[in-house]
Structures are given as C-alpha cells and as structure tokens.
Amino acid sequence: MALVLSGSYEEIGDTGSWAVAPGDVIVHSPFEAHYNGIGTRGAEVLLMPIQSFRKHALLALDDPDEAVRLSQKSPEVAAAYVLKNARNRASNVRDWPDLLAQAIREEPDLQITQWALGIGLDPAVVSRGFRRHFDCSPSQYRLKSRVRAALPAIASNEGTLGDIAHDCGFSDQAHFSRAIRSATGLSPTGLRAFFEERAHKCMGTTHTA
C-alpha cells in the first residue's frame, strides 16, 4: 500500500489508471502488477504492508502526517490506521482506455468489438491504443482480471479450485492453472498453501505481540 506524501504521479496497472497527489492511497493486492509515470518533480511515498485484497484500489486520507508518525513505530500499525480512516476516491483519469479497462473488470465477458463500435471507434484502433496504455491487449487484460478475481477466492480456502475456475470464467481447469502459475509462479494448489502459511504466520505474530 502506497501513501503519497508529496509530489504526484500516474500509476497504470491491473486495477486501472490513477493520477495521485498528496493524501492519496493506492492499495496493491498480492501479485498485482503496475508501473508508475513519475514527472520531473518526483514524488515522496510511504509504503506499508497489508495482508488483504481490496476491489477499490484508490483511497484518500485526511491526515497523512499521522500515518507517517505511526510508521516510525510500526509499519503494520500505520497500515491499519490508513485502512480504517481512508475513504474511497474516484479516479480522475477517464480516457477511453481506462473506461474499457473498467468495463472489462466489471464484466470480463465483455465483447471488445461491440464496445469499440458503441463509442464510435474502430476495434483495431482500440486494440492498439489499449496496448500502448496498459502494455497488454484487451484480451490479456481480461485474463488478468479473471486471475485477480480468483486470488481472494483461493486465499479464502472456501470452495474447490474447480469451482473457483468455473466461477471466475476460465475455460477449464488447465486454463485456470496456467493463468495462475503465469501470474504468481505457483500452481493453484501451491498458491492456496502459500496463503495458508502466510495467514498462520500473521496469526502467530499477532498472538505473540
């Protein structure tokens, strides 16, 4: 999780595009990919660890100084403060690639050609423009969205992996396994074990403290 303290930049990645300024918070879920477009003025950012998934990635915090103060004692305490006190903030980046990315995240089965024609753009232009902006095709972004939807289900340890593959729109179990391994380096079974081990470590740390 990143809290912007000074400066500004644009982040582009799996959750969309975010133009951020002081007081803004971007929450990164496990295995999420993104890159930052930082201007000549630079930016100062406080990074804090979190152990959760959030669908809404952009937050706003009224008192960043308190988060900085808490982080000097414990990054985990600072992160808990931010998540408790920050509020959801809408993105101010609304170019058509961002609108398409949002549409794909909300409806992974979206027909890209129909969407493009619906806003008066040639589908080939949309495909090229989307790739320039997000460094992947709309179809690849769709797959990333399915993976992002599957990760919290895998981590929750509720339901079979086969059910998760079906519910998240993968064509079959093999397709599901390849996509998860490509994104995380682990099979779905290995990833579930990874999340379980991490949860036990967090519980042990909390109990010890």
Cα–Cα distance between 131 and 40 in angstroms, integer? 25
pLDDT over 60 at 5, yes or no: yes
State the average pLDDT for the chain. 88
pLDDT in tens, 17-37: 888 999 999 988 888 877 778
- C-alpha to C-alpha distance for 163 and 92, rounded to whole angstroms: 36
Residue 67 has pLDDT above 80, yes or no: yes
pLDDT at 204 over 60: no
Q: Which domains, ranges and CATH numbers included, belong to the chain?
A: 2-88 (no CATH), 96-196 (1.10.10.60)
Distance CA 170, CA 154 (A): 14
**CA distances for 36 relative to 19, 27, 33, 43, angstroms:** 10, 14, 11, 11
